[in-house]
């Protein structure tokens, strides 16, 4: 019987599945030694044939710590694995159809930018959470526009679910987010490039000011 896992406040870890597998799994296990909000598998697979088994290996490790695992964009993979949900880079036009084709309930999240109408639609569609990209300039979020902090403040009034911030966030600039109400930060290289991912997670948690 599958267990329903909820996203908690804190650090939202995004991992790159194109990383060498042994290194990837070792770093995931290390990061999971610290409390994580959620883990997302980025849509950047090096081998199409390896998607399902790799997702299962990652999910198995995360579930031992009761951390939900999401797949980026590839919602059909959700039906073939024990994943907990899907994160869409853009709100799908056919979200109702996607939900209808899922074989069980799923956590659904979307990336948002400066478009408040997009946020209103996410609320109307009962999206579970939204993630803003990009908060600061970032190599891993170079396709995102920089988000106006005032938009984030307005979004807090429009969207009832958790709100995450992503893109270029480091422990030494996270204090610049103190004026915002948010539920967590989404991190890629700041954790996965660290020699000790678990310590990196703790460093972010220590610096975050969540209200």
Measured at the CA of 72, the angle between CA 118 and CA 140, to 5 degrees, comes to 85
Q: Looking at residue 49, what is its pLDDT?
A: 83
- The string over 160-197, giving b where at least 16 C-beta atoms fall within 10 Å of a residue's C-beta and e elsewhere, is eebbbbbbbbeeeebeebeebebbbbbbbebbbebeeb
3 state SS of 60: helix
Q: Looking at residue 142, what is its pLDDT?
A: 63
Chunked in runs of 10, what are the mean pLDDT values of the chain (211 residues)?
84 97 98 98 92 98 98 97 97 92 97 96 97 89 85 97 97 95 96 97 91 56
For residue 104, the Cα-to-chain-centroid distance in whole angstroms is 20
Q: Looking at residue 48, what is its pLDDT?
A: 84
Measured at the CA of 39, the angle between CA 124 and CA 6, to 5 degrees, comes to 55
Tell me the C-alpha distance between 55 and 11, whole Å.
20
pLDDT one-digit tens code per residue, 19-29: 999 999 999 99
**Distance in Å from the first CA to the final CA of the chain:** 34
Whole-prediction pTM value? 0.95
Domains of the chain: 10-207 (3.20.20.70)
């Amino acid at each position: 019987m599958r267990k329903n896992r909820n996203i908690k406040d804190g650090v939202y870890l995004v991992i790159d599945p194109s990383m060498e597998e042994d290194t990837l799994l070792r770093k995931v296990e290390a990061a999971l030694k610290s409390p994580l909000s959620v883990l997302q598998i980025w849509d950047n697979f090096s081998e199409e044939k390896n998607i399902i088994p790799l997702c299962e290996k990652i999910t198995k490790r995360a579930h031992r710590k009761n951390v939900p695992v999401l797949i980026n964009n590839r919602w059909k993979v959700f039906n073939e694995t024990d994943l907990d949900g899907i994160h869409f880079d853009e709100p799908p036009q056919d979200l109702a159809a996607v939900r209808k084709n899922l074989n069980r309930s799923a956590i659904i999240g979307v990336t948002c930018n400066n478009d408040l109408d997009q946020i209103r639609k996410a609320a109307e569609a009962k999206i579970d959470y939204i993630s803003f990209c990009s908060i600061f300039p970032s190599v891993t979020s170079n396709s995102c526009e920089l988000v106006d902090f005032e938009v984030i403040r307005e979004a807090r009034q429009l969207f009832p679910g958790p709100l995450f911030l992503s893109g270029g966030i480091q422990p030494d600039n996270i204090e610049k987010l103190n004026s915002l109400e948010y539920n967590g930060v989404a991190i890629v290289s700041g954790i996965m490039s660290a020699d000790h991912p678990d310590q990196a997670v703790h460093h972010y948690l220590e610096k975050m000011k969540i209200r």
